[in-house]
């Protein structure tokens, strides 16, 4: 198949700064692409890199798009190098979109009605703000239907975070599932203390809710430490930064990881190869956002619906971090 290829970069400001152990994030930049096949079917795709998380940079993705001719083929798309995982995702999902099998993006979709908010049958995990602010914010998310929350740790001193944590577990309703995401910001001793605290509270009957998992407690280089911790405590550990791309995911699996894998479809690489890996190894996955627009989100939610197991909530509960998106994205698409 041959495609007419067009692309346009975008910038989008977060409604409020996103704070993690990697630092602050104010503006999301990415690329929207459009593939029109020989039968004039249109497929939309989005390249939304996060270079500090292991993908290519926006500049590398733009360079790749700029050097492509106006007409490309399936072969162009399926030979995008592994060093450009966000590009692999953007182009391949635009092809799938255009193929019509998701029931969107069909001929004459001038109204771009795919930009209506996506929904999924899977439960969503809501991202709480960092620090004490979480204690005042969870209720709004609860009213919106969220029952799984994620809270960032490894930002402040551990003693202070443990204090907030103890307040939080007694504030949140008992049916809540709580995920603690350290973004690799803990030392082995600190991670051990978090896991020990969870185990100790539970043993004393003082843990009213479920701690679903601790996410990426240690930096990527300390894989063995995380493997060891995952075998020492009942609370599960999820790898995130360690498995940003398919190559890393496969490597961790080979080295014996049988805990949870957080998959960010937007930067993991080729969707078709991801499907193959998940089917082959039946891994326990949590699907998660890269703060993409509705375009990449639709593609990511397709993958989540196909590949999620154990009914784990998906990490796409992030709409409240952005202002309304629909108008600007619609006009960008119309102009492309």
CB of residue 53 vs Mg ion: minimum separation in angstroms?
9
Q: How far is CA 209 from the centre of its chain?
A: 24
In the complex with Mg ion, the residue whose CB is nearer, 96 or 181, is 181
CB of residue 234 vs Mg ion: minimum separation in angstroms?
21
How many binding residues for Mg ion (CB under 5 A)?
3
CB of residue 152 vs Mg ion: minimum separation in angstroms?
8
Cα–Cα distance measured from residue 205 to residue 199, given in angstroms and rounded to the nearest whole number: 10
Q: CB under 8 Å to 141, separation ≥6 — which residues?
A: 126, 128, 149, 317, 320
Contact stretch for Mg ion (CB under 5 A) within 107-115, 141-149, 154-162, 214-222: 214-222
In the complex with Mg ion, the residue whose CB is nearer, 158 or 333, is 158
In the complex with Mg ion, the residue whose CB is nearer, 77 or 304, is 304
Contact stretch for Mg ion (CB under 5 A) within 31-39, 178-186, 270-278, 305-313: 178-186
In the complex with Mg ion, the residue whose CB is nearer, 215 or 319, is 215
CB of residue 160 vs Mg ion: minimum separation in angstroms?
21
Contact stretch for Mg ion (CB under 5 A) within 59-67, 116-124, 159-167, 174-182: 174-182
Contact stretch for Mg ion (CB under 5 A) within 8-16, 73-81, 179-187, 297-305: 179-187
Site for Mg ion in 259-288 (CB under 5 A): none
Among 190, 240, 292, 319, binds Mg ion (CB under 5 A): 240
Contact stretch for Mg ion (CB under 5 A) within 69-77, 114-122, 208-216, 224-232: 208-216
Two structure tokens written together for 277: 């890996």
Which residue sits closest to Mg ion, CB atoms considered?
240
CB of residue 21 vs Mg ion: minimum separation in angstroms?
9
Which residues form the catalytic set?
A: 152, 264
Q: Residue 45 forms beta bridges with which residues?
A: 33
Q: Is 181 in the site for Mg ion (CB under 5 A)?
A: yes
Alpha carbons within 13 A on the beta-carbon side of 293: 31
CB of residue 326 vs Mg ion: minimum separation in angstroms?
27
Site for Mg ion in 76-105 (CB under 5 A): none
Write out the chain in H/E/C secondary structure.
Answer: CEEEEEEEEEEEEEEEEEEECCEEEEEEEEEEEEEEECCCCEEEEEECCCHHHCCCCHHHHHHHHHHCCCEEEHHHHHCCCCCCHHHHHHHHHHHHHHHCCCCCCCCCCCCCHHHCCCCCCCCEEEECCCHHHHHHHHHHHHHCCCCEEEEECCCCCHHHHHHHHHHHHHHCCCCCEEEEECCCCCCHHHHHHHHHHHHHHHHCCCCCCEEEEEECCCCHHHHHHHHHHHHHCCCEEEECHHHCCHHHHHHHHHCCCCCEEEECHHHHCCHHHHHHHHHHHCCEEEEECCCCCHHHHHHHHHHHHHHCCCCCCEEEECHHHECCCHHHHHHHHHHC
In the complex with Mg ion, the residue whose CB is nearer, 92 or 181, is 181
CB of residue 210 vs Mg ion: minimum separation in angstroms?
18
Q: Is 212 in the site for Mg ion (CB under 5 A)?
A: no
In the complex with Mg ion, the residue whose CB is nearer, 77 or 252, is 252
Q: Is 190 in the site for Mg ion (CB under 5 A)?
A: no
In the complex with Mg ion, the residue whose CB is nearer, 62 or 260, is 260
Residues of this chain that bind Mg ion (CB under 5 A): 181, 215, 240
């Amino acid at each position: 198949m041959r495609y007419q290829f067009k692309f346009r970069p975008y910038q989008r400001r977060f409604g409020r700064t996103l704070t993690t152990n990697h630092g602050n994030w104010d503006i999301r930049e990415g690329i929207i692409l459009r593939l029109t096949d020989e039968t004039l079917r249109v497929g939309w795709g989005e390249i939304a890199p996060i270079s500090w998380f292991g993908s290519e940079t926006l500049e590398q993705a733009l360079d790749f798009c700029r050097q492509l001719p106006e007409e490309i083929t399936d072969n162009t798309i399926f030979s995008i190098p592994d060093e450009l995982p966000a590009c692999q995702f953007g182009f391949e999902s635009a092809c799938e979109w255009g193929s019509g099998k998701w029931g969107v993006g069909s001929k004459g979709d001038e109204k771009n009605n795919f930009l209506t908010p996506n929904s999924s049958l899977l439960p969503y995990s809501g991202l709480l703000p960092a620090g004490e602010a979480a204690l005042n914010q969870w209720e709004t998310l609860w009213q919106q239907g969220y029952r799984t929350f994620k809270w960032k740790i490894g930002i402040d001193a551990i003693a202070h975070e443990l204090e907030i944590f103890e307040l939080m577990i007694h504030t949140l309703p008992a049916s809540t599932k709580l995920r603690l995401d350290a973004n690799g910001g803990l030392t082995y001793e600190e991670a051990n203390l978090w896991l020990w605290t969870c185990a100790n509270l539970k043993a004393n009957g003082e843990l009213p809710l479920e701690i679903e998992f601790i996410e990426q407690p240690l930096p990527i280089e300390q894989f063995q430490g995380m493997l060891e911790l995952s075998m020492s405590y009942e609370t599960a550990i999820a790898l995130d930064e360690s498995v940003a791309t398919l190559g890393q995911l496969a490597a961790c699996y080979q080295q014996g990881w049988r805990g949870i894998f957080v998959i960010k479809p937007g930067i993991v690489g080729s969707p078709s190869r991801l499907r193959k890996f998940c089917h082959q190894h039946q891994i326990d996955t949590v699907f998660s956002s890269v703060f993409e627009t509705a375009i990449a989100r639709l593609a990511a939610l397709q993958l989540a619906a196909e590949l999620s197991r154990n009914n784990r909530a998906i990490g796409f509960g992030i709409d409240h971090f952005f202002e309304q998106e629909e108008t600007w994205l619609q006009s960008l698409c119309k102009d492309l």
